[in-house]
Amino acid sequence: MPLLIGAAIVAAFVLCALTAPLLTRAVGFDPYEQVAPRTETPPTAPDRRHLLGTDTSGRDQLSRLIHGSRISLEVGLFAEGIALLIGTALGAFAGYAGGRIDAVLMRLTDLVIALPGPLLALAVIAAVPDPETAPVLRHLPHPSVAVVALVLGGIGWAGIARLARGEILRLRGLEYAAAARAVGARGLRVVVRHLLPNALGPLIVAASLGIGGNILMEAWLSFLGVGARPPLPSWGTMITEGQAYFLSKPWVCVAPGVAILTVVLGFNLLGDGVRDLLDPRRRSAPA
């Protein structure tokens, strides 16, 4: 059941992000444009024209919310992709090589896990004050979002590395791994062709939980003003912009808040669901 709900939410979210330009066209308002009526001080209340009202600058909340899903998806996927890449490579190498290499790599992993992630992210992002003009980054569509993704990926790999190492360690002692080695396969081939595919299950679960975590983290950083740069409609930024109106005009920050809640919940349910699916002990009951 959680799997289905999670999958549905995630599918809706991904679909929304992919078709954002079409959806906002259907809504009828550009997410960056001031569209509130000129007779009233924004944020204006939800009405038929603006289903979620307008924000502090008189922009349509709904179309901003829809566009914001792209930012969240970008950060969630890219950061997790980076984490997965680094984590799997290091973890698998450490697990397969063992010995001193393993010890060194795992202490490095411990080190990264011991660092206070949010603070480290804040510090690194603060060191790139102007991503829009930074070398390489400025060629990307959303340089400030790319920085967040890089940083989150850069600290998120440690958990994945541990998991990957554990799996490889377990699998390399199995007979089929020994058989592969016996017919002359080299280390890299054994790991990539034989061991990793069998270790994928837990990694997918971790990644799906990680995406939810990254989306939450991006919102938190943007809320503090160091994540996605305005006027990008990041959900975290939208909450910051609305916080002064929390009591008087709650829709300004409630809408992005609920969006974050739903999507993160969706990824967590999906992750849990997939784990249950892959866990032989839980699968014991006849399906």
Partner 1 sequence: MHAVSFRSAATPPASTSRRGALRLPALLILLAAGVLAPAGIACRDDRAPAGSAADEQVFRFRLREDPPTLDPAMTSDNLSEAITANVFRGLVQLDPETLTIVPAVAAAWEISPDHLTYTFTLRDDVIFHNGRRLTADDVVYSFTRLLDPAVNSPRRFVLEPIDGAGPFAEGTSSSVTGLTSPDPHTIRIRLARPYAPFLGLLSMVNAAILPREVYDDPQRGYQRSPVGCGPFLVSRWEQSNLIELRAFDRFYGGRPTIDRIEARIIENLVSALQEYRAGGLDSLDQPPAEDDALYEELKPEIRRYPYIATGYFGFNLAIPPFKGNPALRKAINYAVDKKYLWEILMPGGNIPAHGIIPPGIAGYDPNLPGYPVDLGRARSLLAEAGYPGGRGLAPFTLWSNTSEDNRRIALQIQSDLKRIGVQVTLREADWAAYIPAVEGTAEKPGQAQMFRFGWNLDYPDADAILRPLLYSSNIGPAGNSIRYHNPQVDRLLDEALIATDPQKRAALYREAERIAVMDDAVFLFLNYYESWTLFKPWVKGIVLTPLGEFRIPLERLRIDRSGS
- List residues near partner 1 by CB under 8 A: 32-35, 38-42, 56-59, 122, 126, 129-130, 132-133, 224-226, 229-231, 241, 243-245, 247-249
**Distance in Å, CB of 211 to partner 1, minimum:** 26
By beta-carbon proximity to partner 1, the closer residue of 8 and 123 is 123
By beta-carbon proximity to partner 1, the closer residue of 38 and 107 is 38
Residue type, 257: G
**Distance in Å, CB of 226 to partner 1, minimum:** 6
State how far the alpha carbon of 114 is from the alpha carbons of 150, 156, 159, 188, in Å: 19, 12, 11, 30
For residues 14, 213, 264 and 225, what is the CA-based torsion angle, rounded to 10 degrees? Answer: -90
Q: Based on the number of CB atoms within 10 Å of its own CB, is 247 exposed (0-12), middle (13-18) or buried (19 or more)?
A: exposed
By beta-carbon proximity to partner 1, the closer residue of 39 and 284 is 39
What's the rounded Cα separation, in Å, for the pair 72 and 145?
Answer: 9
By beta-carbon proximity to partner 1, the closer residue of 129 and 280 is 129
**Distance in Å, CB of 52 to partner 1, minimum:** 18
What's the rounded Cα separation, in Å, for the pair 235 and 223?
Answer: 8
**Distance in Å, CB of 85 to partner 1, minimum:** 30
By beta-carbon proximity to partner 1, the closer residue of 86 and 122 is 122
**Distance in Å, CB of 30 to partner 1, minimum:** 10
Residue type, 165: R
For residues 84, 69, 256 and 27, what is the CA-based torsion angle, rounded to 10 degrees? Answer: -170
